[in-house]
Structure 1
Amino acid sequence: MSNVDIPNAILRGAQLTIVGALRALQNPRLFNETLYKQAAIAVAASLAIRLVIAIPTVLVRILLWFFGFIIDFQSSGFDVRTVSGLAFIEKSVLQLPFFLMACMRFVSPAMDEMFMKSLQWVDQTYVVKHKADDPSTLRAMYYPNLQMYNSDSVPSNEPHEKKSSYVAIMAFCQKYARRAGISMAIYLLTFMPWIGPFVLPAASFYSLNKAVGPLPAMVFFMLGFVLPKRWMVFFLQGFFASRSLMRELLEPYFSRIHFTKDQKNRWFRDREAVLFGFGLGFYMLLKTPWVGVLVYGIAEASTAYLITKITDPPPAPSESAGFAETQIAWKNKHEFLKLRLDDIDKLNEQAANREDRHFHKE
């Protein structure tokens, strides 16, 4: 993707955040007893997450209160700065709320079910919207074939499946721990003399150069010297968290359509800007107190709509050999980015889909 297309792709991703959420919320199948139960669980989970995150801060407050009888913190404001700094590290540097929300998919199939129900709804609304068109010109459906694939991300009571889920949880925790360690190291380096002021600008340039191009990366590099440290940390963590969020939201798709690690990396790279715009929008909404987990569910449902714009309809499992390789390049990328928002559903690649569905026969 050229640097000229990147801002447009990010904007289109942000637009898909809104359109996808609206489409998902129009699905009557989501508004049933199960959804209300999940919504109640989500709110309770949000409360639990906030309580868990608050524990270190409360403990520090108690210690500071105890030592306050011996040391005068009031004049220096040390206690206020300490508590504020700890809360900032928990929420913005280590991203603990996001980590705890992402862990939910390992213990409940709700996110996977929401994705599949929404995908079915997207197919149904597409057919209704184009009921006056020639059926032979319509795209193939996504849900009928995708639901035939076994998902690796749905928790199961089977012993071997439990072992697989445990391995997945440990891999996720290790990935998060590595990312959190890097974030914490960068944050601590900012306090070092001489090199401290250069750490965040350099980190922002390195992170953004590949994603949005050298010019925007250079702009943020320069801003890093004038913006407050907290603003830069918030921006960088938002960038990384939105990318991580997209990988989690797309897990119901990748747990069915299997890609190699290299194929998956190339798949993300070809759609990086759009996914960043989509993920950033929901990342901002996820920071809403108390309802963050509920927003996470809406984001998962919206991802089903996103999938229909950046991939081809999957073949039946018996015909899936080699399908992943054909999906690495986003075939209608430039055409899709040029569409007006009102015409976002008009792009039709039926001919290409037919060719892809028979790629293994050629």
Structure 2
Amino acid sequence: MNLNIFIITSYSFFDQDLEKLFLCNLKYQDFSKNFKNYENYSKLSSNYKLDKSKHWITNVTHLFKFSREFKNFIKRYTNYYLLNCLIFVSIEFLPEKIASVVLGFISFQTFVDKFGTVFSIILVTILQMSNYHYTVLILTTFYGSWNLSEDLLIPYFNKIHFTMSEQNQWLNTRKGVLFGIGLVYYIMMQKFPLISFIIYSNAFFNMGFLITKITNEIPDNSKSLGTWSITESVWDGHDKFLGESLTS
């Protein structure tokens, strides 16, 4: 169920320690490359402000009311846990052939818009001929990694107010890079659950570096932010990113 990841991400909404790690690396990148991302980011305000003196239920209600990222976070993990429950019920209570069909359908729906119809059919066929354990492992790892990659961007989207369509486009055009980062940290947290908070903190810290590689510099005034967010939602820097990664 990956409750450790859910709990740590939930904590990040109520405390700014993890965001400070993100900002620490962002500030260092500005210093080393003469950017102003940290300075311009700090000028922006988030959609919500919690009062720690109030009861936690009041703060949760406030988040549901004012924080789009919190609502997206809850929605993503609700869908993830429902999917895991469906998989569990299928393999534990349904006949093997029916369970295989259900897992195959979920797998195809998961990968068809990412790999195309032909490759998805080939992948599902291979999984159908294998033990269902591998299908379950691939599905849970895929969705868990993608959720984690979005979790690491919560501080960024809390301040950069994209529209929902712009944010989805922003994520889709960078999905390969983000999924790769999420996959690495997801596997590490699964392998070493006792130090998952340390690993997660390191992921937040490194996102301060990655964000400067996959986005342009944040504008220094709110008037320019609207136009910037429209153009920034589409990313065409894949080749440059890969070139710099291979060089480094």
TM-score (norm 1): 0.59
SS in 2 for 1:195: helix
Aligned residue in 2 for 1:121: 28
Paired residue type of 1:145: N
After superposition, residues 212-227 of structure 1 pair within 5 angstroms as 212-227=115-130
Aligned residue in 1 for 2:131: 228
Larger mean Cα displacement after TM superposition, 147-156 or 313-322 = 147-156
Q: Distance in 1 between matches of 2:230 and 2:53?
A: 31
Aligned residue in 2 for 1:239: 142
Change (3 A) 1:214 1:304: farther
Question: Contact 2:166–2:230 (CA<8 Å) still a contact in 1?
Answer: yes
Structure 1's unaligned 5+ residue stretches are 1-93, 128-139, 345-362
Q: Distance in 2 between matches of 1:262 and 1:171?
A: 13
Q: Distance in 1 between matches of 2:88 and 2:131?
A: 13
Question: Contact 2:46–2:159 (CA<8 Å) still a contact in 1?
Answer: yes
- Per the TM alignment, residue 315 of structure 1 is displaced from its structure 2 partner at its CA by 0.3
Aligned residue in 2 for 1:264: 167
Change (3 A) 1:189 1:268: same
Aligned residue in 2 for 1:335: 240
Q: Distance in 2 between matches of 1:178 and 1:285?
A: 23
Q: Distance in 2 between matches of 1:311 and 1:211?
A: 22
Aligned residue in 2 for 1:353: none
Aligned residue in 2 for 1:305: 209
Q: Distance in 2 between matches of 1:278 and 1:154?
A: 29
Question: Are 1:325 and 2:246 an aligned pair?
Answer: no
Question: Are 1:148 and 2:43 an aligned pair?
Answer: yes
Q: Distance in 2 between matches of 1:154 and 1:207?
A: 36
Question: Contact 1:212–1:273 (CA<8 Å) still a contact in 2?
Answer: no
- Per the TM alignment, residue 152 of structure 1 is displaced from its structure 2 partner at its CA by 4.1
- Per the TM alignment, residue 300 of structure 1 is displaced from its structure 2 partner at its CA by 0.7
Match of 2:176 among 258, 273, 279: 273
- In the TM superposition, what whole-angstrom CA distance separates every residue of 1:27-64 from its partner, at most 9, and x where no partner exists? xxxxxxxxxxxxxxxxxxxxxxxxxxxxxxxxxxxxxx
Paired residue type of 2:94: M
- Per the TM alignment, residue 116 of structure 1 is displaced from its structure 2 partner at its CA by 0.8
Larger mean Cα displacement after TM superposition, 275-284 or 185-194 = 185-194
After superposition, residues 156-195 of structure 1 pair within 5 angstroms as 156-157=51-52, 162=59, 164-165=62-63, 167=65, 168=67, 172-190=73-91, 191-193=93-95, 194-195=97-98
Question: Contact 2:76–2:147 (CA<8 Å) still a contact in 1?
Answer: no
Question: Contact 1:105–1:153 (CA<8 Å) still a contact in 2?
Answer: no
Structure 2's unaligned 5+ residue stretches are none
Identity of aligned residues (%): 25
- Which structure has the larger Rg over C-alpha atoms? 1
- In the TM superposition, what whole-angstrom CA distance separates every residue of 1:17-36 from its partner, at most 9, and x where no partner exists? xxxxxxxxxxxxxxxxxxxx
Change (3 A) 1:156 1:122: farther
Change (3 A) 1:178 1:340: closer
Q: Distance in 2 between matches of 1:171 and 1:273?
A: 20
Change (3 A) 1:100 1:219: farther
TM-score (norm 2): 0.84
Q: Distance in 2 between matches of 1:308 and 1:234?
A: 32
- Per the TM alignment, residue 142 of structure 1 is displaced from its structure 2 partner at its CA by 1.6
Higher helix fraction (1 or 2): 2
Give the total of aligned pairs: 237
Aligned residue in 2 for 1:101: 8
Question: Contact 2:80–2:143 (CA<8 Å) still a contact in 1?
Answer: no
Measured on the aligned residues, the alpha-carbon RMSD in Å equals 2.5
